[in-house]
């Protein structure tokens, strides 16, 4: 297979795309690599956008993913996006009318932020550097900020804004924030950080509408309450950027459907990063992962399969998923696979503490761990987690 692959097209110039190009070169691939990106910027790191970059502590140059001495010998095609793919010829059509043909395509288009249906100024999402710059311009000390969505990005923005002296309120439609990734008990534990730092959190009531004529002046909830706001940020999740693949015959109903090495139903078309839904033996179904470490690490598996072939029946060797978040000066770390039927023990602290270590157990085995300002204990438990992917969800 490897001898026939001379040109690889990577669609997406963010972390997963950059990691794919890096993995190709580190695997000895000496053919052509073409990377297509809809932004004009070369690959950059996104997690700091809601933290240090938004607070003005880091610059755009600090976010660059490419090392000073790194030369991946890539042809960058930036400022345009892919609009169509012919899987049979692995030909990609771009929005500027050009087309590119290669021997293999790696789809790494990531996700797009969900937006509120409004034309009011002062309403933001945060996904790109340009988004962060626009939001930062509106973040003035004393201004009233309403964050809609108490997920990790929303919480990080609230934390950053509070540190800048803004009057911050957070709204969450669900009864418990972060119940999906952490469960209700520990979702509430993390949510307690808002209260400790003077940030009201309104849960269980969705947003009805935004107030204002030209610029936003407030948020009205479904129960009639009105929250004044000079600035609103929608942190209401993201959708995989795979709409451009709708006419390919590939399954994109929940992200680009891939097997456990990233291969799709089309020969030499692969998916990586949070646009892709890989088959996860631990869960027994396809699953889309939106974590930074996944986009950094998983492309190595895909590149090996692309260059060297793979056995569809062989299990993939993936470690326990990991993500982190920085909120109000607290480092949150989570590793493992939580499916919802686990019991939780506290190895340090309690649900009321900002420095806790909680372990999720299933059938007597630790399968996930959450740490809040517990880096040493977290590291020990993370290394000891079960890595048996077939047994993890048993």
Q: Say how many Å lie between the first and final Cα of the chain, rounded.
A: 36
**Are residues 136 and 222 part of one domain?**
yes
3 pLDDT more than 80: no
Q: Is 321 part of a structural domain of the chain?
A: no
Confidence band of 310 (pLDDT split at 50, 70, 90): confident
**Are residues 123 and 107 part of one domain?**
no
Cβ–Cβ under 8 Å, residues 366 and 359: yes
Domain boundary among 252, 276, 308: 308
Q: Is 338 part of a structural domain of the chain?
A: yes
Domain boundary among 217, 236, 255: 236
**Are residues 119 and 104 part of one domain?**
no
State CA 23 to chain mean position distance: 20
**Are residues 254 and 107 part of one domain?**
yes
User: Bridge partners of 332?
Assistant: 325, 372
**Are residues 165 and 153 part of one domain?**
yes
Q: Is 26 part of a structural domain of the chain?
A: yes
Cβ–Cβ under 8 Å, residues 329 and 309: no
Distances 140 to 55, 124, 176, 231, 307 between C-alpha atoms, Å: 11, 15, 29, 10, 51
**Are residues 12 and 62 part of one domain?**
yes
**Are residues 11 and 73 part of one domain?**
yes
Domain at 343, CATH number: 3.30.390.30
Chain segment 217-249, per-residue pLDDT in tens: 999 999 999 999 999 999 999 999 999 999 999
Confidence band of 393 (pLDDT split at 50, 70, 90): very low
pLDDT at position 390 is 37
What is the greatest pairwise CA distance in the chain?
65
Give the domain extent around 298: 2-112+239-308
| Mean pLDDT for the chain overall | 92
**Are residues 121 and 232 part of one domain?**
yes
Chain segment 257-266, per-residue pLDDT in tens: 999 999 999 9
Q: Which residue's entry shows tokens 């021997």? A: 103
pLDDT at position 367 is 92
Q: Is 316 part of a structural domain of the chain?
A: no
User: Bridge partners of 216?
Assistant: 212
Confidence band of 385 (pLDDT split at 50, 70, 90): confident
Q: Is 91 part of a structural domain of the chain?
A: yes
Chain segment 33-44, per-residue pLDDT in tens: 999 999 999 999
**Are residues 94 and 19 part of one domain?**
yes
**Are residues 65 and 204 part of one domain?**
no
User: Bridge partners of 7?
Assistant: 32
Q: What backbone torsions phi and psi does residue 297 show, to the nearest 5 degrees?
A: -95, -35
**Are residues 165 and 96 part of one domain?**
no
Domain boundary among 204, 236, 268: 236
Q: Is 289 part of a structural domain of the chain?
A: yes
pLDDT at position 92 is 98
58 pLDDT more than 90: yes
315 pLDDT more than 70: no
Cβ–Cβ under 8 Å, residues 126 and 293: no
Overall number of domains in the chain: 3
For 265-278, what is the mean pLDDT? 95
For 343-367, what is the mean pLDDT? 93
**Are residues 251 and 181 part of one domain?**
no
Identify which of 291, 240, 256 has the alpha carbon closest to the alpha carbon of residue 111: 240
Q: Which residue's entry shows tokens 């204002």? A: 212
Provide the CB-side half-sphere exposure for 148 (13 A, CA). Answer: 27
Q: Is 366 part of a structural domain of the chain?
A: yes
195 pLDDT more than 90: yes
pLDDT at position 295 is 93
Q: Is 320 part of a structural domain of the chain?
A: no
Confidence band of 128 (pLDDT split at 50, 70, 90): very high
Domain at 221, CATH number: 3.50.50.60
């Amino acid at each position: 297979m490897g001898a026939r692959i001379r040109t690889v097209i990577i669609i997406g110039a963010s972390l997963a795309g950059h990691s794919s190009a890096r993995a190709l070169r580190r695997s000895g691939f000496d053919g052509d690599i073409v990377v297509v990106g809809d932004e004009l910027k070369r690959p950059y790191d996104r997690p700091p956008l809601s933290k240090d970059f938004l607070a003005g502590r880091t610059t755009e140059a600090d976010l660059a993913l490419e090392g000073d001495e790194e030369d991946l010998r890539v042809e960058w095609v930036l400022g345009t996006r892919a609009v169509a793919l012919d899987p049979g010829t692995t030909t990609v059509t771009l929005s500027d009318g050009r087309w590119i043909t290669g021997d293999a395509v790696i789809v790494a288009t990531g996700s797009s932020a969900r937006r509120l249906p409004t034309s009011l100024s002062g309403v933001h999402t945060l996904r790109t550097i340009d988004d962060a710059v626009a939001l930062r311009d509106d973040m003035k000390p004393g201004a009233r900020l309403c964050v809609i969505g108490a997920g990790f990005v929303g919480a990080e923005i609230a934390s950053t804004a509070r540190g800048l002296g803004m009057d911050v309120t957070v709204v969450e439609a669900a009864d418990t924030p972060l119940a999906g990734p952490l469960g209700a008990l520990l979702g509430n534990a993390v949510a307690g950080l808002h209260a400790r730092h003077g940030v009201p959190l309104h849960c269980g009531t969705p947003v009805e509408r935004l107030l204002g004529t030209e610029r936003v002046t407030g948020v009205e909830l479904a129960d009639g309450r009105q929250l004044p706001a000079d600035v609103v940020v929608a942190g209401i999740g993201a959708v995989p950027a795979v709409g451009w693949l709708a006419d390919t015959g590939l399954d994109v109903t929940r992200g680009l459907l891939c097997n456990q090495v990233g291969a799709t139903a089309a020969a030499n078309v692969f998916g990586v990063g949070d646009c892709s839904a890989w088959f996860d033996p631990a869960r027994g179904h396809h699953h889309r992962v939106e974590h930074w470490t996944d986009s950094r690490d998983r492309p190595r598996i895909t590149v090996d399969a692309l260059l060297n072939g793979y056995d569809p029946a062989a299990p993939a060797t993936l470690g326990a998923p990991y993500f982190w978040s920085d909120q109000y000066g607290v480092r949150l770390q989570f590793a493992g696979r939580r499916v919802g039927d686990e019991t939780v023990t506290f190895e340090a602290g309690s649900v009321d503490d900002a420095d806790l270590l909680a372990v999720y157990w299933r059938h007597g085995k630790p399968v996930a761990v959450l740490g809040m300002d517990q880096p040493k204990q977290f590291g020990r438990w993370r290394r000891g987690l079960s890595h048996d992917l077939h047994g993890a969800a048993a």
